[in-house]
A and B are shown apart, each in its own frame.
Chain A
Amino acid sequence: MGQAIAHAFAAAGHPIQLAARGAAGLDTVQTDLALRHGVDVTLHEFDVLDSNGFGGFVDGLPALPGVAVSVVGYMGEQAENEQDQAQAALMMRTNFEGPAGILALLANRFEARGSGTLVGVSSVAGDRGRATNYVYGSAKAGFTAFLSGLRNRLAKKGVHVVTVLPGFVNTAMTEGLDLPEKLTAEPSEVGAAVVKAVQKGRNVIYVRRIWWLVMAIIRNIPEPVFKKLKL
């Protein structure tokens, strides 16, 4: 999904800084982005669980980016997350603590500069906790709330924050799951939606609009009924 978002920005002429664990392994992606779109692409080592390294990471970038996108996500197995406390903690750190931490740092730099857009890819799973994936969902709920607060804080400082709720996306994370076609976006759709949201200054987007309706319904089911449902 991150690569698709990078392609969408590169196609719009933006230079790209790709940050990931084992960034050197992204050399093929780097070449492909540069060849297709004729933009500069750089690779940067980044580990979302290593919060001590965040400062050095940001200082090491060739330039403070105009737009920063966090596409970190790790779903794991709900059954394991329920039983294994260490696993659950790792999940929460990966989906909430880490992404919030790096965006907080970038937010302060953007605020000092007085411009920029931060994009957090969160999840519809954060809209309401469900038995099938509430550990992941709760971390995403935290991240969504963090983005909302950050947007509020920076609204008058020239810095914009976009919350992206992709719904199902056809990626390695969802491979092998039997997902309904109408609700499942291709990564390229997410890329296009993110670029558009940034350009138009949108606040919260669902990539496929139908997800707004689906989640509105799910959020509004009364708790006495909801707790007995299998969702």
Chain B
Amino acid sequence: MKLSGWGRFPVVETQLCAPRDVAALQALVTGDEPVIARGNGRSYGDSAVGAHTTLDMRHFDHMLSFDAETGVLVAEAGVLLGDVIDAFLPRGWFPMVTPGTKFVTLGGAIAADVHGKNHHVDGSFGTCVEWIDLMGPDGQISRISREDDPDLFRHTLGGMGLTGVIVRTAIRLRPVETAWINQTTLPAPDLGAAMDLFEQHAHVPYSVAWIDCMSRGAHLGRSLVMLGDHAARADLDAKKARTPLDAGHKGAHTVPLDFPGFALNRWTVRAFNELYYRVGAWKPTKALVDWDTYFYPLDAVLKWNRIYGRRGFAQFQCVLPLDTARTGLTELLEAITEAGAGSFLAVLKRFGPQDSAFSFPMEGYTLALDFPMKPHTLDLLDQLDAVAVSHGGRFYLAKDSRMGAETLRESDSRAAEFEALREARGLKEHFASAQSERLSL
């Protein structure tokens, strides 16, 4: 069947199998065709699309145990982060690290070693992973951790499913007093100001900025920097304090059909401008925001990927090291505004230090944005790749759908080591995605 990632580009012909138990999974993994595990299909490109066979892991969706003393949850890889929140937030626990959607599986979060708004304080998702039950090429499951086979464990975090099939995992949750976030929004008139705000507020647990990609010249990088922290019980008014761990249920809307190509721009820009000027007038604004709105604003619009229409879209996300970030980001934003065909909103985030074998984050600044798939999009993306590489940057494979194998190697010296590990352990013939073949990993 035809399958793609969340960006709906590229579309790849693959055999999709949905095993219901370990025996069925073993049969597929040890078969003749290479396989790749797929969670909830939220990676943007082709990292969870098999060049041959794709394993839909969503039947492995059981929670297996929870230790209320330590906050360690053991669960199968197909459990969604949103399910974890539904089950444990009412008991005062929240994920240590969460990406911008709760519709990711635990297996996917590990494979992409996802990051959240707290990366500069807490690191990536791997921080909270105690161990992983990984099915190897022989169909055997081994429990790997920082103590047991640390090399394989480290490469499985951010390994894009190319080290084996993640079957089960133990993750540590974070105790929280409430389901609410204290949010502060600060306007920044340009890129430099936004970066200064990140540095000034380095101690705040959550931070992220929206960049208006339409503004140019002196206003290049005009942003809203959004800071947040888990609210304490004392921060709530009497009504909310009665059920501090229940922020109420938000409805969700579904995008009912593919939008035509022109639909997106006006909405997002107008929304940004409105927010920007409102915040600008009242700066800085503080608000008590429920967890769902704060962490997952896009999840309220189910199937939002349809707003880009049938041709889909590409995400671009790179990270630049601290010393080159300012010039590199300026060049990237200039290239984007010059092309004029790009994204209207981008996300900027300060990463903290990270020690990992093949994960995306490193200390510096990361920029992420969407591009509707249009004739010149791929050219622009190549151009952005070159800017990032020349500033010592690297790319997020969970977002990538089109990068070349040379670009990956130019940007990330760890790729060769990752490939060598795959060779040495006989993983290459058994685990392959459309992305790994494209990037010759």
Residues of A whose CB lies within 8 Å of any CB of B are: 28-29, 31-32, 35-38, 172, 175
Contact = CB atoms under 8 A, between A and B. Distances in A.
A36 B63 contact: yes
B425 interface: no
Contact of A32 (B18, B63, B86): B63
B20 A32 contact: no
Nearest to B59: A172
7 contacts: A28-B62, A32-B61, A32-B63, A32-B64, A35-B87, A36-B86, A38-B91
Contact of A175 (B18, B66, B83, B91): B18
Q: Which of A32, A38, A172, A175 has the most CB of B within 10 A?
A: A32
What are the 6 closest A-B residue pairs judged by CB atoms, nearest first? A32-B62, A35-B63, A36-B87, A28-B62, A32-B63, A35-B66
Contacts of A29: 62
A29 B60 CA distance: 11
Contacts of B86: 36
Contact of B63 (A31, A172, A175): A31
A28 B18 CA distance: 18
B62 A31 contact: yes
Interface of B: 18, 20, 61-66, 83, 86-87, 91
Contacts of A36: 63, 83, 86-87
Scoring A31, A35, A172 by chain B CB atoms within 10 A of each residue's CB, the highest score goes to: A35
A37 B66 CA distance: 12
B63 A37 contact: no
A31 B20 contact: no
Contacts of B62: 28-29, 31-32
A57 to B, nearest CB: 25
B171 to A, nearest CB: 14
B20 A37 contact: no
Nearest to B61: A32
A99 B192 CA distance: 70
Nearest to A36: B87
A31 B66 CA distance: 10
A32 B80 CA distance: 13
Contacts of A35: 63-66, 87
- Of A31, A37, A172, which is in contact with the most chain B CB atoms at under 10 Å from its CB? A31
Nearest to A29: B62
A2 to B, nearest CB: 14
A95 B64 CA distance: 32
Contacts of A28: 62, 64
B333 to A, nearest CB: 41
A164 B149 CA distance: 51
Contacts of A175: 18
A161 B63 CA distance: 33
Contacts of B83: 36
Contacts of B63: 31-32, 35-36
A195 B155 CA distance: 44
Given A28-B62, A32-B62, 19 more contacts: A28-B64, A31-B62, A31-B63, A31-B64, A31-B65, A32-B61, A32-B63, A32-B64, A35-B63, A35-B64, A35-B65, A35-B66, A35-B87, A36-B63, A36-B83, A36-B87, A38-B91, A172-B20, A175-B18
